[in-house]
Amino acid sequence: MTEYYDLYTKDRERTGKTAIRGRKVPDGLYRIICFACIFNDQDKMLIQQRHSSKKSWANYWDVSAGGHIMAGETSIQGIMRETREEIGLDLPEGAFSPILTVHYENSFHDIYVVQHNVKIEDLTLQEKEVQAVKWASEREIEEMISNRTFMPVYREFIRLLFRMKNSKGILRIRKRNR
């Protein structure tokens, strides 16, 4: 199945044009990629290991979930879908707190933080996308970056995520009493 994503201007306005996922973004245009960083009450981030069959970054560890938003989706809709597809966690829109956008050469990377305690055994991993998940401390992730087993990100970026997870805008998910 061919997947399409919307193209945006440098000011993040939709152009009305789309592109096929996997193809180069046309010069002067941008796409949106979103990432969820899920934290628990033990000050750990849920991280995923990319499947060994992935074309890029196979076997590397990464943040909780992420991917391209599809044509017609908003960033929040995209991260909700990616989280559900990749790790089987269906969270409401209000659970995702957008904390920052990183502007790259041809894309905007929207970073969302979620405070949620979930048991690893309750997650359903997407075949051929995610091969493992685990909770990791800031120090553990920094060691993985040094060992080149985590996606190539700056240690300072991971430190920032761990500091910003406690921002007032981040909501905690609580199970309702029924």
Q: What is the pLDDT of residues 62-103, one digit of tens each?
A: 999 999 999 999 999 999 999 999 999 999 988 988 889 999
Give a yes or no: residue 170 inside a domain: no
Q: What are 153-164's pLDDT values in tens digits?
A: 999 999 999 988
Given 3-state DSSP classes, what are the helix, strand and coil percentages for the chain, each rounded to the nearest 5?
Answer: 20, 35, 45
Give a yes or no: residue 174 inside a domain: no
Give a yes or no: residue 82 inside a domain: yes
Give a yes or no: residue 171 inside a domain: no
Rg (alpha carbons) of the chain, rounded to whole number: 16
Give a yes or no: residue 173 inside a domain: no
Structure tokens that stand for 11 in this block: 């000011």
Taking the complete model, does pTM exceed 0.85, yes or no? yes
- Could you give phi then psi for residue 83, rounded to 5 degrees? -65, -40
Number of domains within the chain: 1
Long-range contacts of 141-145 (CB under 8 A, 24+ apart): 141/45, 141/47, 141/61, 144/61
136 membership: H or E segment, kind and range: strand 130-136
Q: Looking at residue 16, which CATH number applies to its domain?
A: 3.90.79.10
Give a yes or no: residue 142 inside a domain: yes
Mean pLDDT of the 38-65 span = 96
Is the pLDDT at 149 greater than 50? The verdict is: yes
Give a yes or no: residue 178 inside a domain: no
User: What is the chain's mean pLDDT, rounded?
Assistant: 91
Q: What residue numbers bound the domain in which 31 lies?
A: 4-164
Report the pLDDT value the prediction gives residue 98, as an integer from 0 to 100: 87
Which residue has better confidence, 176 or 17? Answer: 17
Give a yes or no: residue 109 inside a domain: yes
Report the pLDDT value the prediction gives residue 174, as an integer from 0 to 100: 46
Report the pLDDT value the prediction gives residue 177, as an integer from 0 to 100: 40
Contact assessment for residue 153 and residue 138, using Cβ atoms and an 8 Å cutoff: no
Of all residues in the chain, the percent with pLDDT exceeding 70 is: 93
**Tokens 């966690």 sit on residue:** 89
